[in-house]
Structure 1
Amino acid sequence: MYKLGIADDEPKIVTGLREFYPWEDMGFTICVQARNGQELWEYMQNNHLDVVLTDISMPVMSGIELAQKLAGTSTVIVFLSGYADFQYARQALHYNVYDYILKPVKYQELLDVFHKIRGILDMARSDAPSAPVCYYQTIVDKVNQSILEDLPGASLKSAAAKVRLSPGYLSSLYKQQTGQNLSQFILEAKMSCAGKMLSDGVLKVYQIAEKLGYEDPKNFTRAFRSFYGCSPREYKGGGSYEDC
């Protein structure tokens, strides 16, 4: 888990950031919540933070002043602000702030920013930075493998459990990385496997349906016809998943 600190002088915003985002799913632990930059700075005198999510305008010490103190460190800084003022953005860039998000924060926008930060931190931690493996692609690969290894039990919920993510988060990430819904991949995998088993000619249709997790053979036949444009009995040809 990467260590995250949040600084904002509005308690409701801090509560919302803490409770409504899947930080653990994304690989982050909130270690400190501060009311201003000074409190966060004092905490960091004895504790390392990988990422700081801070408001810009705060009493005692602003986010800009905090970023200035953290300039040159390895801590990734993300600004939150209700001020649509490009002067703030220019200062943020001057102190190497990673991103600048306006309030009210859009849920998906913040998720996307921290997805990217997680990838950057993973690459920095990698023993082979010259050939880093994309964090998100690794998740997709693991999900695909788990589906192909257990087609009868394949589902969004079971796949999410395999990679220790929430179903909603995994669904969004998978669509972003592959351009298709996870349910579509599961269907394609099952239908390709069904085609191969039908071509082998060993099992009957109801047996194939059972092996692929369909309790009712009629549901399997309906899905097969929708996918291939013909019934299982009419189908001739082979599938593409050799492990089936």
Structure 2
Amino acid sequence: MYNLLITDDESEIRNGLSNYFPWHEFGYQVVGQACDGEEALAFIEKKPVDVLLCDIRMPSLSGIDVAERLYRQGSGVKVILLSGFKEFEYAQLAVQYGVKRYLTKPTKYVEIAEVFGHLRSEMDHERMPAPSPSASSAESGLADHTIEKVKAYLQDNLSAATLENAAKHVYLNPFYLSKFFKTKTGENFSDYVMNLRMHRAAELLKTTHCKTYEISEIVGYSNAKNFTRMFRSFFGVTPREYRNED
């Protein structure tokens, strides 16, 4: 079992997270609650904690402040931030302190299960005394699953495909996902999305009667002129020229 500390300045949220989710089924035990960052750090100094689930905005110390202090101390505590939608960009700052994942409020069962399930797999791997073939296979499988999930999301949501939206879909920090995607695929996230958009646009030009501005919107360009410019740069011809080619 991994020791989990839950920190939020709202008692209702703390108690709800502590009691309504079956932590034991996922390999965790809630060892305490803290109402602010200072109390969380004090708790960690006295008792062993493996994971800190911490609200990003609190009086005194924010969740990012707590993550920074733990990072500076060389602590091995894994930090997962609770972030509201409006705090999403702010939460990205925490990647420099080792925060890879976050949960959005209001939290959902499936999101908690996925985030903490992945985290447990990572920690299990880290605790192994020496690498094994099976360990490498498990880690590789987890990475492949995440990348495939991102790719599937992009395929189905090209009109709204952004790094931030993809990161939300797999509960990862956007900056971390960007580096992770490059490491695992050898391709920049933005280049991958652009390739998807251009090839989808080319397909639509050949197989539908949609107008250029309609295809532009379908593949995620709100400005048709920008789309045409990008298409020409990518294929060497304009969308109209491409459609009329034999």
2:205 corresponds in structure 1 to none
1:229 corresponds in structure 2 to none
- 1:54-92 Cα deviation digits (max 9, x unpaired): 001111221111001111321111000224234322211
| Structure richer in helix, relative to its length | 2
What is the root-mean-square deviation in Å for CA atoms of aligned residues?
A: 1.8
* CA drift at 1:30: 0.7
Query: Contact 1:3/1:48 (CA < 8 Å) preserved in 2?
Result: yes
Between the aligned partners of 1:68 and 1:97, the Cα distance in structure 2 is 9
Q: Are 1:20 and 2:20 an aligned pair?
A: yes
2:113 corresponds in structure 1 to 111
- 1:110-148 Cα deviation digits (max 9, x unpaired): 11000001101111111232431649x9xxxxxxxxxxx
Between the aligned partners of 1:10 and 1:95, the Cα distance in structure 2 is 24
Query: Contact 1:84/1:102 (CA < 8 Å) preserved in 2?
Result: no
Query: Contact 1:51/1:77 (CA < 8 Å) preserved in 2?
Result: yes
- Between the two proteins, the alignment pairs up a number of residues equal to 136
Query: Contact 2:64/2:91 (CA < 8 Å) preserved in 1?
Result: no
Query: Contact 1:78/1:101 (CA < 8 Å) preserved in 2?
Result: yes
2:210 corresponds in structure 1 to none
* CA drift at 1:107: 1.3
Out of 67, 79, 84, the residue aligned to residue 81 of structure 2 is 79
Query: Contact 1:32/1:40 (CA < 8 Å) preserved in 2?
Result: no
1:48 corresponds in structure 2 to 48
TM-score, length basis structure 2 = 0.52
Q: Are 1:61 and 2:48 an aligned pair?
A: no
Query: Contact 2:5/2:33 (CA < 8 Å) preserved in 1?
Result: yes
Between the aligned partners of 1:121 and 1:20, the Cα distance in structure 2 is 23
- 1:173-231 Cα deviation digits (max 9, x unpaired): xxxxxxxxxxxxxxxxxxxxxxxxxxxxxxxxxxxxxxxxxxxxxxxxxxxxxxxxxxx
2:104 corresponds in structure 1 to 102
Query: Where in structure 2 are there 5+ consecutive unaligned residues?
Result: 142-246
Between the aligned partners of 1:28 and 1:86, the Cα distance in structure 2 is 26
- 1:18-67 Cα deviation digits (max 9, x unpaired): 11111011111111100001001011112221100000111122111100
Between the aligned partners of 1:89 and 1:40, the Cα distance in structure 2 is 18
Between the aligned partners of 2:109 and 2:84, the Cα distance in structure 1 is 15
Work out the percentage of aligned pairs sharing the same amino acid. Answer: 39
